[in-house]
A = this chain, B = another copy of it.
């Protein structure tokens, strides 16, 4: 299994920042796993692991995601590659990072199949004592998410397939941390024409039930080709 090379190489890992929103829609969460070995044993870290030879980076990221948290088929996008030689005390380890967006309810309490402890942390808590440079990675991921949210339709990945306009609005308010005008928001979103009115309403709510919508990806792709640019 060991390998010898003419020149030394840095080790290569993938790490995934996983953002989640619960249906209560009160906060943005990030999924962390507790490290079982040194270094940083007992510290919380974003899930990840070594890239295998012959495996693409995204494949590696999805494999690690599955192994460490049980998550599959989620939205996943490359974030940034960190390669400071001292970011891992053992040796030079370069990490290609990804960020994932999931709806918490679809996966709630999926404790690591890998016997590792996994838990959701509120992003706002800004947990300081993360392993390696993971605090930094999380900050970069959050900045990216905030940026993307405004000009790419990624927010829907954090909601259940069927959602109300109020839920979508709250998502934007929570992540961007600024209030949004209800009427203006609804006008703008609906005017884009990328939501499908499902003709259904919420159930089991103790107030007027809101209409349910779904993101219409086909419509979005078509409009995009025609020069349309998402913006919220």
Contact = CB atoms under 8 A, between A and B. Distances in A.
A174 to B, nearest CB: 20
Contact of A4 (B4, B54, B85): B4
Interface in A191-211: none
A10 interface: yes
Most buried by B among A6, A50, A53: A53
Contacts of A4: 2-5
Given A94-B96, A96-B94, A53 B8 contact: yes
Given A2-B4, A3-B9, A81-B81, 13 more contacts: A1-B6, A5-B5, A5-B11, A9-B10, A9-B53, A10-B51, A53-B85, A53-B91, A55-B85, A56-B83, A57-B81, A57-B94, A96-B96
A50 B94 contact: no
Interface of A: 1-12, 50-57, 60, 78, 80-85, 91-92, 94, 96
Given A57-B83, A83-B57, A5 B3 contact: yes
Given A54-B92, A83-B51, A94-B96, A8 B12 contact: no
Nearest to A8: B3
Listed from nearest, the 10 A-B pairs whose CB atoms lie closest are A57-B83, A3-B8, A4-B4, A8-B53, A81-B81, A54-B85, A53-B92, A81-B96, A9-B9, A56-B84
